[in-house]
Amino acid sequence: MSHFQTFTAKEIESLRRAGKVLRECLRLVSTKVEPGVTTKQLDEFAEEFIRSFDGAAPAFKGYNNYPATLCTSINDECVHGLPSPQRVLRQGDIVALDCGVIVDGLYTDACVTAGVGLLPEPVQTFVRVTEDALEKACAIVREGVRIGDISSMIQKAVEGAGYACVRALTGHGLGSTLHQFPDIPNVGKKGKGPSVPAYTIIAIEPITSMGSDVIRESEDGWTILTSDGSLSAHFEHTVLVLPDGGEILA
């Protein structure tokens, strides 16, 4: 698909429901992040929570044969970290909790990065800058915004603070599928790229590195890591584009 999918009022209600379940899921999973917890435990909690809502289902499980509800990417893992009973969270780790919820065939997608216990000050700052970059980008969303406006906002916030955007990984349109037109890069130029119509949804997701933005793939076939072992952070919102602003669905 190389065009934007727009949604009816009824579909927007389904998306709002999905988003609400997803936001609450991530909020609750974040409260369970502490030393000694395994990423498998977080995944099981998330799946059970989502399925407790009538008509809601995890969006990632089974997507391209992905086996879990959450992606749990620890430290130098950028995205698609596989939950495992062998992965125990340790004091000082950072873990990105990425999740999707589907309601009435429509997808929402969101991610937060949580610290395990207290983080060293430089790591706290790095995580906060990544989250701020997402909030700044969401703040300019409205009908007619250009993808390049969003990309450039993220790039300035992240690189301006001395970190890197992982250029190979991007945000995306979504709706009837999890990933669709357009790609939303985390670097780019203001005024460039497609202009976004109202009543569409986009997933904006800065994925950052404290060091190099070069990535590698793990032998598990899913996890993507920084090649130099630098910490990576990831925040994501699904945003509904409206005539006079953006509504954060999840």
**Binding interface with Co ion (CB under 5 A):** 109, 203
Q: Is 205 in the site for ligand MF3 (CB under 6 A)?
A: yes
Residues in Cβ contact with 106 at an 8 Å cutoff, skipping those fewer than 6 apart: 7, 11, 14, 15, 18, 175, 176
Contact 148/188 with Cβ under 8 angstroms? Answer: yes
Min separation Cβ 172 and ligand MF3, Å: 6
Least distance (Å) between residue 232 CB and Co ion: 15
CA 220 to chain centre: 21
The answer to the question of residue 80 lying near ligand MF3 (CB under 6 A) is: yes
* Residue 80 contact partner, candidates ligand MF3, Co ion, none, CB within 5 to 8 A by sort of partner: ligand MF3
Alpha carbon of 248 to those of 24, 38, 62, 117, 196: distances in Å? 13, 29, 26, 28, 15
Residue 242 sits at φ, ψ, to 5 deg, of -120, 165
Q: Which is nearer to Co ion, 47 or 109 (CB)?
A: 109
Give yes or no for residue 77 binding ligand MF3 (CB under 6 A): no
Q: How far is the CB of 132 from ligand MF3 (least distance, A)?
A: 19
Amino acid at 171: G
Q: Is 64 in the site for ligand MF3 (CB under 6 A)?
A: yes
From 95, 109, 13, 1, select the one nearest 59 (Cα to Cα): 109
The pattern of x and - marking residues 4 through 43 that bind ligand MF3 according to CB under 6 A reads ----------------------------------------
Given the rule CB under 6 A, which residues bind ligand MF3?
60, 63-64, 66, 71, 80, 98, 109, 203, 205
